[in-house]
Structure 1
């Protein structure tokens, strides 16, 4: 701050002398314009999963010149306090990584109209503050091709869904998969279960085993660290007889011969685009993650070519508008 004031004084004196400055304030010093970006994560950034993806995006912003800070493993009851601490510390962009933080983010944003916030939501929220950018994670759309993958890969005609907490976004994934199964015309049935914890490996292994015992030979997971337990269950079956899909990051190393695919997410591109728009004066916006813009579907090497083609066709259909994936967050079983 002292440097800025000194620069302003020098500039004023030189202008009063009639001198022309080619770069008032110094061409190599952008300190007054430097963005201070803070992020708040719900879990450890070492999870090689959702929070790890958030940290990668934040670090990329740092490479582009931003000053960064972050808090990890922040529980929902503490989120307002942490948000206000970053406001008090002078951060001008604060990102909360997880839809469970959105309500508190919007509340604190209304209290601090001169600070920019980035929150995440599943859908488009009502009453979005003028200084908030919303990232719609669009899980239901991204899970449709996963449903197509399962419909074309199963030999028993039975598919399982293994989630963590029974939340609205998880329900939307189940409805989306059911839509894809129905659209395939193969009569594939879906059984959905939830562990009650995204990171409980023991419970995930137990429920995955139960799904396999009921002839669900493809299991779609929506878990974090808990997916390791699910892999332990499917790898007890011969390769090609039990398959698993995962979410956020490639976890194929846990069971190569049983790995079917990933609903991949990437927050580097979306966050860079949002931060650029904030810098250009757009303090409010709505960014929808979709294929080619923060999301993709990776299909395992061992999956038959015709199944891969069906998955790509579903992605293409979503992008060209011929496939409309319905957002349904109603509770389901």
Structure 2
């Protein structure tokens, strides 16, 4: 999140500039290609990340490059002002994010001023990791139009159906939208992402991949310190992964008071999403006939 990055203010400034230049605020889905063009970049049609490019390489390079090409989702050619997206990235929502990721690399001053001899291959691992984190955050800020998403998200009832509605609206993946929904929510909200199948094969233990939460959740319950492997015996909300009708539980807050926490669950072939929240007192908009899918 921006509040966790020292460069957060600069990322926000550059994102706002691009959104204004592209006239992207309030346009849905977020016009990614216009944003790329606003950064004076072009999405390449001749892609060096295509596996067919291997045929043009010397034999001694093919074995080494084959593994590299499979891992790289996108690349930025600073000299030619080109954005490359690996053709193997076949989900449109992912391609859109990759384009904005590379665009952020291009517009952040402390990244674009690098001399070409000192590229991402020669940078220190800690710097490389920071740059990738900044690019991911910039892509999310562009895709969700800075505060625009949060304003809309907080007008709707908390549910994964709302997440699907906003995912379609902004042209983002369900996963990215769910993370954003939890982060910017004004209520006590947390998103927990699990592996698609139990860790023990018997639905007693589940492997947690990540947890994202709002400021209000942290205020009420503190930062989650849940283990990587979770059991419904110790963490009651995990029961919802195997019990569709399990829609609420109780949790003890920092003030040592038990609070009712609502639950919503969506299973996809790739992940299981569990949304937790404390119901707000004010009435919110109910999404109309929206069902969360595998987007």
What TM-score results when the alignment is normalised by the length of structure 1?
Answer: 0.21
Q: Which has the larger radius of gyration?
A: 1
Q: Which has the higher strand share?
A: 1
